């Protein structure tokens, strides 16, 4: 435990997991420098306070205040000069690291990231969309990120970088992974009920393995029957985060046994859950909100191709044995 606290720069410690991006070393060195500086001054100041308290406490019938020296130019220059130099040093190193962390190299591999309550989706250069973030090792990767609804924040602790994802504008983050590993993409900005569940797998592969993965993943539903493909897509696009398929509760209604039944809407109307209803609810979720649920689902307009909508519908029908 103590050894764990003492290690620094890129290694796993009590405070941070092992750093696995090119700038992890710089970030960690600065972090631990400031950390140990704080520990040093905390101990020094508190130690001296306690020591003076004991040494100069009032004894016997000494007068309340004794004459003392009230000015020492050398001492004042020293205690102002040393902190000034330390602060300037922190600024210079911090500024250099910051510029490195916010400036993606020209040749970065670009992935679009989309955040919404409460899942991530990543669009690769060939148009393939997945809820998992796969990246090549040893090549700068740049994410261009946007949010469908509220403020989210992209965070993979091992990469030592974090960036807000903002509705109505694009933000970006970049990193260059140094070795293959698996981790988790976290949302680091409180975004509502399921904020803590807003996680996606992060997988860094060697370049050839990444290329093979992307090629295979992009054709994932070839040779699958629609229900099977729909079930997979249901996971991949994060539907399952809010809508259970086993009758359990959630942010949205469960899909177990719902197909073909009449539903009561929040505005007082009713309607049958059929193919058109599901399609409308995916593309325009607030049109017919089921009674008892909040209108919190974002639109998926433009994010599902027609054939993807049909396999999702086939899967939802299958849950009701239709």
Binding site for ligand CUA (CB under 6 A): 115, 118, 152, 187, 189-191, 195, 198
106 three-class SS = coil
Of the chain, the end-to-end C-alpha distance in Å amounts to: 57
User: Minimum distance from CB of 198 to ligand CUA (Å)?
Assistant: 4
Min dist CB 107 to ligand CUA, Å, is 30
**Among residues 28 and 189, whose Cβ is nearest to ligand CUA?**
189
Strand partners, 177: 21
**Closer Cβ to ligand CUA, 109 or 118, answer by number:** 118
Contact 187, 116 (CB under 8 A): no
Query: For ligand CUA, which is the closer residue by CB, 178 or 200?
Result: 200
In the three-class reduction of DSSP (H, G, I as helix; E, B as strand; rest coil), residue 28 is classed as helix
**C-beta of 118 vs 259, nearer to ligand CUA:** 118
Positive or negative CA dihedral for 285, 291, 295, 298?
A: negative
> Quick one: DSSP state of residue 234?
H
Q: List CB contacts of 223: < 8 A, sequence separation 6 or more.
A: none
- For the bound state, the minimum distance from the C-beta of residue 184 to ligand CUA, rounded and expressed in Å, comes to 13
Q: Write down the least CB distance from residue 59 to ligand CUA, Å.
A: 59
CA distance 231 to 216: 18
Residue with Cβ nearer ligand CUA (172 or 195):
195
> Minimum distance between the CB of residue 132 and ligand CUA, rounded to whole angstroms?
17
Length of the chain: 322
CA dihedral (278, 280, 284, 285) positive or negative = negative
Please identify which residue in the block is written with the tokens 């997945």: 130
Q: Minimum distance between the CB of residue 259 and ligand CUA, rounded to whole angstroms?
A: 30
């Amino acid at each position: 435990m103590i050894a764990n606290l003492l290690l620094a720069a890129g290694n796993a410690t009590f405070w941070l997991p092992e750093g696995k991006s090119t700038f992890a070393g710089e970030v960690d060195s600065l972090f631990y420098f400031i950390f140990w500086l704080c520990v040093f001054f905390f101990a020094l100041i508190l130690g001296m306070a306690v020591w003076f308290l004991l040494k100069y406490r009032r004894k016997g019938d000494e007068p309340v205040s004794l004459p003392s020296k009230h000015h020492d130019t050398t001492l004042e220059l020293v205690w102002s000069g040393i902190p000034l130099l330390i602060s300037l040093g922190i600024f210079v190193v911090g500024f250099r690291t910051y510029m490195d962390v916010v400036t993606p190299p020209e040749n970065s591999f670009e992935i679009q990231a989309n955040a919404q309550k409460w899942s991530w989706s990543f669009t690769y250069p060939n148009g393939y969309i997945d809820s998992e973030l796969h990246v090549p090792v040893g090549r700068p990767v740049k994410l261009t990120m946007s949010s469908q609804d509220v403020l989210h924040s992209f965070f993979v602790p091992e990469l030592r970088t974090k960036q807000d994802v903002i509705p109505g504008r694009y933000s970006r983050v970049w990193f260059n992974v140094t070795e293959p590993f698996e981790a988790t993409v976290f949302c680091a900005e409180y975004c509502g009920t399921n904020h803590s569940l807003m996680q996606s797998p992060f997988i860094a592969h060697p370049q050839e393995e990444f290329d093979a993965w992307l090629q295979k993943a992009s054709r994932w539903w070839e040779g699958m029957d629609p229900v099977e493909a729909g079930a997979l897509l249901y996971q991949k696009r994060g539907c399952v985060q809010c809508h259970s398929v086993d009758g359990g509760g959630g942010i949205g209604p469960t899909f177990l046994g719902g197909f073909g039944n009449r539903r009561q809407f929040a505005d007082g109307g009713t309607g049958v859950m059929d193919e058109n209803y599901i399609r409308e609810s995916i593309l325009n979720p607030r049109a017919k909100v089921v009674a008892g649920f909040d209108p919190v689902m974002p639109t998926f307009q433009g994010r599902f191709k027609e054939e993807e909508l049909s396999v999702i519908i086939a899967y939802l029908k299958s849950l009701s044995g239709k």
